[in-house]
């Protein structure tokens, strides 16, 4: 597939998922009134999606890494095929939600969306890894991140306009046409048939899915669901034991054995948790403590999205000039500083500055850490790497909001959770020491890096 078309598909796929989440938040109050739903049911329109998508991301990524059929002459799978199936299913589920007769249908179709979202999200990164050589991945990942930042800024405004005009149902029709068009195009791509001894680890996939589903549910439902946390611990231990013994593990050693990949994933969890938790607590700070209305609150936080978009291409330059280690350390520090300023000042211009620091820090970390995860993984493990990156970006926000909710419940006000989340961001900065520094990488004939930071392909 053409690299430019691959990049366009990756960007649109990522934007569709990001936009869907942001506009849903705006549409939920109207949805609740129209369908006569309870607060718990409305919450499950988000929770059901999160559980489905988080539990299946790694499995879907591994499935895309198998560009062959166990039977000779069978139909190959590949990232493009999974991307196409995911886009078509995601768009169809969105259309179904727009015509749902009751909240039960909305919840069920959101779970379906999560399943298809899990298929397409790792593929958006897996396609980039296979279409671009390692030394050219910085710019595509930066473009993808900038597009996500734009959707984060435009989503609430667009969703609000649609909800106030035609109604909340129209919100879910936004992504139907692009999803169906790009999904159909992706299914026309025929990945090359390759001979590979790798097999899909179905028992491992089931154990990991149950572990992640229980973990996400436990975080969302804190503090009343201790049993799901216990189940996550038990199934997680069983999964680790199984992976050590199986001949074809779901998580290849070439990926999880990399210190750089593990550190980058940890930074993504810490950064996304700090951002989402800070935005959650910051809403109460702006509206309850400072008395700003929702519209003025949105204007004050607008620098976050603007700087996130600007940080993406800037990070691509920084990665080339100073390396991932220094770039992420400074970016995580900026993120922590922005959250601290947010918790300490009532001045509007300082609040705008705080949100700008948060956006610049998070946008930079997202590009740099994602670049490390995707680049350090072997091509044949690109889907797993993409699945792990997307899992980190889904678990982190749930963790951050859970921490902010628990601390706000103590009655101490927004300052306490914001301080804790700033500390979490600083802790994430320490993980940057394990990331590769600035090195000139020699390239082999196939366009793969031969530097010492490169994880070798699994044999």
Asked if 66 and 381 touch (Cβ cutoff 8 Å), the reply is no
What is the structure's pLDDT at 198? 56
Task: Write the CA distances from 195 to 199, 268, 387, integer angstroms.
Answer: 11, 34, 23
Least confident of 56-70, 132-146, 343-357, 412-426: 56-70
Asked if 134 and 449 touch (Cβ cutoff 8 Å), the reply is yes
Q: Can you tell me the distance from the alpha carbon of 381 to that of 61, in angstroms, rounded to the nearest whole number?
A: 8
Q: Which residues partner with 449 through β-bridges?
A: 443
Closest-CA residue to 9 (of 141, 223, 185): 185
pLDDT digits (tens, 9 = 90+) for 63-98: 888 754 444 444 446 888 899 999 999 999 999 999
Asked if 56 and 123 touch (Cβ cutoff 8 Å), the reply is no
> Read out DSSP for 275-325?
HHHHHHHHHHIIIIIS---HHHHHHHHHHHHHHHHHHHHHHHHHHHHH-HH
Q: What is the DSSP letter of 390?
A: H
453 pLDDT band, cuts 50/70/90, is very low
22 pLDDT band, cuts 50/70/90, is confident
What is the structure's pLDDT at 440? 44
What is the structure's pLDDT at 86? 94
What is the structure's pLDDT at 191? 58
What is the structure's pLDDT at 265? 93
Least confident of 115-119, 310-314, 421-425, 432-436: 432-436
Percent of the chain with pLDDT over 70: 89
CA 272 to chain centre: 9
What is the structure's pLDDT at 77? 67
Question: Greater confidence, 42 or 393?
Answer: 393
Q: Can you tell me the distance from the alpha carbon of 58 to that of 385, in angstroms, rounded to the nearest whole number?
A: 8
Which stretch, 36-40, 44-48, 273-277, 294-298, has highest mean pLDDT? 273-277
Q: What is the mean pLDDT of residues 41-45?
A: 84
pLDDT digits (tens, 9 = 90+) for 258-310: 888 889 999 999 999 999 888 888 877 887 778 877 677 778 888 988 898 89
pLDDT digits (tens, 9 = 90+) for 373-399: 988 887 778 888 888 998 999 889 888
Q: Can you tell me the distance from the alpha carbon of 353 to that of 331, in angstroms, rounded to the nearest whole number?
A: 15
What is the structure's pLDDT at 72? 43
Asked if 125 and 386 touch (Cβ cutoff 8 Å), the reply is yes
131 pLDDT band, cuts 50/70/90, is confident
Q: With a cut of 60, say whether residue 404 has pLDDT above it.
A: yes
pTM equals: 0.82
287 Cβ contact list (under 8 Å, min separation 6): 293, 294, 297
Q: With a cut of 50, say whether residue 445 has pLDDT above it.
A: no
pLDDT digits (tens, 9 = 90+) for 164-216: 788 889 888 988 999 999 888 888 876 555 444 456 788 888 898 899 888 88
Percent of the chain with pLDDT over 90: 26
Task: Write the CA distances from 42 to 48, 68, 403, integer angstroms.
Answer: 10, 41, 21
Least confident of 31-40, 118-127, 230-239: 31-40
Q: What is the mean pLDDT of residues 227-240?
A: 87
What is the structure's pLDDT at 27? 81
Angle (deg, nearest 10), helices 226-245 and 202-220: 160
Q: Can you tell me the distance from the alpha carbon of 397 to that of 386, in angstroms, rounded to the nearest whole number?
A: 17
What is the structure's pLDDT at 439? 59
What's the token pair of residue 372? 């490390």
Task: Write the CA distances from 329 to 5, 325, 366, 425, 433, integer angstroms.
Answer: 33, 6, 12, 10, 8
Q: With a cut of 90, say whether residue 441 has pLDDT above it.
A: no
Least confident of 96-110, 191-205, 415-429, 445-459: 445-459
What is the structure's pLDDT at 218? 83
Q: Can you tell me the distance from the alpha carbon of 254 to that of 268, in angstroms, rounded to the nearest whole number?
A: 20
Q: Which residues partner with 443 through β-bridges?
A: 449
């Amino acid at each position: 597939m053409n690299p430019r078309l691959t990049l366009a598909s990756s960007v649109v796929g990522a934007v569709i998922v990001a936009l869907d989440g942001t506009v849903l938040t705006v549409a939920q109050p109207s949805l609740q009134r129209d369908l006569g739903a309870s607060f718990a049911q409305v919450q499950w329109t988000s929770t059901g999606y999160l559980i489905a998508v988080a539990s299946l991301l790694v499995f879907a990524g591994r499935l895309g890494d198998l560009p062959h059929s166990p039977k000779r002459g069978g139909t190959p799978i590949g990232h493009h095929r999974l991307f196409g199936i995911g886009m078509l299913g995601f768009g169809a589920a969105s259309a179904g939600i727009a015509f749902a007769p009751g909240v039960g249908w909305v919840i069920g179709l959101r779970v379906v969306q999560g399943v298809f979202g899990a298929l397409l999200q790792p593929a958006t990164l897996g396609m980039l890894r296979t279409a671009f050589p390692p030394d050219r991945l910085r710019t595509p990942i930066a473009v993808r991140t900038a597009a996500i930042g734009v959707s984060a800024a435009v989503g609430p405004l667009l969703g609000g306009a649609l909800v106030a005009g035609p109604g909340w149902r129209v919100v879910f029709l936004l992504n139907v046409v692009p999803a169906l068009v790009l999904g159909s195009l992706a299914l026309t791509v025929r990945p090359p048939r390759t001979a590979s001894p790798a097999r899909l680890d179905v028992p491992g996939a089931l154990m990991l899915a149950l572990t992640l589903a229980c973990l996400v549910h436990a975080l969302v439902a804190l503090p009343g669901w201790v049993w799901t946390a216990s189940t996550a611990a038990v199934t997680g231990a069983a999964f680790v034991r199984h992976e050590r013994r199986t001949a074809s593990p779901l998580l290849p050693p070439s990926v999880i054995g990399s210190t750089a990949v593990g550190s980058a994933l940890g930074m993504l969890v810490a950064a996304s948790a700090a951002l989402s938790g800070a935005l959650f607590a910051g809403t109460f700070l702006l509206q309850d403590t400072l008395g700003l209305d929702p519209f003025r609150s949105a204007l004050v936080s607008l620098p976050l999205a603007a700087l996130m978009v600007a940080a993406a291409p800037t990070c691509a330059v920084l990665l080339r000039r100073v390396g991932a280690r220094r770039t992420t350390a400074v970016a995580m520090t900026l993120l922590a500083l922005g959250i601290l300023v947010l918790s300490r000042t009532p001045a509007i211009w300082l609040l705008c500055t705080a949100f700008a620091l948060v956006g610049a820090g998070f946008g930079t970390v997202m590009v740099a850490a994602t670049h490390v995860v995707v680049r350090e993984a072997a091509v044949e493990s690109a889907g797993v790497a993409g699945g792990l990156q997307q899992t980190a970006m889904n678990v982190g926000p749930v963790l951050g909001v859970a921490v902010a909710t628990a601390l706000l419940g103590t009655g101490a006000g927004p300052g306490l959770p914001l301080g804790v989340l700033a500390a979490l961001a600083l802790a994430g900065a320490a993980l940057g020491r394990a990331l590769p520094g600035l090195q000139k990488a020699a390239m082999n004939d196939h366009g793969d890096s031969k530097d010492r930071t490169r994880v070798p392909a699994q044999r």
